[in-house]
Structure 1
Amino acid sequence: MSLVAIIDIAHPDLALTPTIRECPDASIQVVPHSTTDPETGLFFFLVDGADEAFEAALEDDHTVPHWTLVDDLGSTRIYQLEHTDETKLISPKTAELGGLMLKAESNDRGWTVRLHLPDREALSTLWEYCESEEISFELYRMFRQDEWAGGRAPTLTDEQQAALVNAYEEGYFEEPRETSLEDLADRLDISPTAVGGRIRRGTGKLVETTLLEE
């Protein structure tokens, strides 16, 4: 049974880590197709919040010997980068194990990656590889592929998602609660009973699809 794993990885020599730590307000994503052929040595990155300071950080980044601005879309820029031989990457090892890197985006320490892997053995092998390379490896979530697609549970309805997101944003899950079912009902223009039902059913479905398998 194939699986999707969401993992936080960190190491000073991981690709772009010096730039990530120098420019924490910039959001960096790997353009997915660039990880399908790691032997080319060329990678593409989509950056929100790129500016002169970001490009100055690229110049000082020891993982990036060469970079090219491919497109400037205003608040978003696309860069083509090369990495040094000493740069640590997990995409080649992932491909070697028969996996795919579905998504990679920067966090405050390094990268959060979403990987499609053939089985738990491949995940274990990848963890052992990261351990041997002294790459911090924190498994955040893992899902069976037949129960997870595109980053959201397929059986969670739009109404349940809206109720859960509003409840979270308004502090319904805080202790003490910062809002009530009545307030959420006013925001969603439904009854408090309906809001409570959507929250319960949505939470139950999230537990079923994200936790029970583990």
Structure 2
Amino acid sequence: MSVIVEFRIPADDFELGRILSVEGASSIELETLVPSGDTTVPLFWVYNSVRDSFLETVHRHPTVNSAAEVDVFDDRTLFRLDWDARQDHIFHGIVETEGQILSATGTSRAWDFELRFPTHDALGEFKTHCDDAQVSLEVIRIFNPTKPEAGPWYGLTEPQREALVLAVQSGYYDIPRGCTTKELADELGISDQAVTERLRRAIGAFVWHTFLTPESDA
């Protein structure tokens, strides 16, 4: 089963982070990676930037072949960047371990990535690759994506989803609690005991279909 990891990395620890560490850009968001011959060309949004100075700074970087505007809006600009990703330990490691970039956002200080790897072993190989390259990764979260049989609601039935959403929105899991099971029961039109059982089953189904590995299932 595939595994998804969210991690944070200092911008100075990888090549693209250093390229895009431009004064005046409040945040940067990867839009997509576009294949171009033997290279991969990223498209990314730059928010609140001075467009001309941004391009001028990026063009000065030795691994950048070209950079150009694609779309311009009031608060952000979409750029296309052609650069030598072979110099980047992060992207090299992703390719070597068959990882996929799901999202990437950053500033001049740090970047947050969400990656999918085919197995836990592949994730371990990526982490080892980064350690060997002295790249600092702060792992935020690791989880398994929803199982195929889980359906659109992570394995929850519609009544379970309704009860769980209501409980969270009503503050049932807050400290102190924002409501009681009786109040939830009155809202749902079922008994107090039925609410408790429905929440128990909902949480069990959610964990089973999101966090448990195949080994745990066995």
What is the CA-CA distance between 1:165 and the residue it aligns to? 4.3
Task: Give the TM-score normalised by the residue count of structure 1.
Answer: 0.66
Contact 1:38 1:91 in 2 (8 A): no
Residue 141 (structure 1) aligns with: 142
Residue 88 (structure 2) aligns with: 88
2:188 aligned with 1:190? yes
Code of the aligned partner of 1:199: L
CA deviations 1:150-180 (Å, max 9, x no partner) are 9x76423455445444543553322112344
Residue 131 (structure 2) aligns with: 131
Between the aligned partners of 1:185 and 1:126, the Cα distance in structure 2 is: 48
Task: List gaps (5 residues or longer) in structure 2.
Answer: none
Code of the aligned partner of 1:116: F
2:172 aligned with 1:175? no
CA deviations 1:169-204 (Å, max 9, x no partner) are 553322112344566678xx6336566554332211
Contact 2:117 2:123 in 1 (8 A): no
2:204 aligned with 1:207? no
- Go from structure 1 to structure 2 and tell me whether the alpha carbon gap of 1:79 and 1:89 turns closer, same or farther (over 3 Å shift): farther
CA deviations 1:78-122 (Å, max 9, x no partner) are 32123466963533322222x2414023267412212132x3322
Contact 2:51 2:77 in 1 (8 A): no
Residue 51 (structure 1) aligns with: 48
Contact 1:153 1:209 in 2 (8 A): no
Identity over aligned pairs, percent: 19
- 3-state secondary structure, aligned to 2:188: coil
Give the aligned CA root-mean-square deviation in angstroms: 4.2
- 3-state secondary structure, aligned to 1:52: coil
Contact 2:55 2:68 in 1 (8 A): no
* Matched residue count: 202
Between the aligned partners of 1:22 and 1:179, the Cα distance in structure 2 is: 46
- 3-state secondary structure, aligned to 1:8: strand
Between the aligned partners of 1:43 and 1:12, the Cα distance in structure 2 is: 16
Contact 2:25 2:48 in 1 (8 A): no
Between the aligned partners of 1:212 and 1:106, the Cα distance in structure 2 is: 28
What is the CA-CA distance between 1:127 and the residue it aligns to? 0.7
- 3-state secondary structure, aligned to 2:78: strand
Contact 2:154 2:209 in 1 (8 A): no
Code of the aligned partner of 1:11: P
Task: Give the TM-score normalised by the residue count of structure 2.
Answer: 0.65
Between the aligned partners of 1:20 and 1:169, the Cα distance in structure 2 is: 40
- For the pair shown, the structure with the greater C-alpha radius of gyration is 2
- 3-state secondary structure, aligned to 1:110: strand
Between the aligned partners of 2:136 and 2:53, the Cα distance in structure 1 is: 27
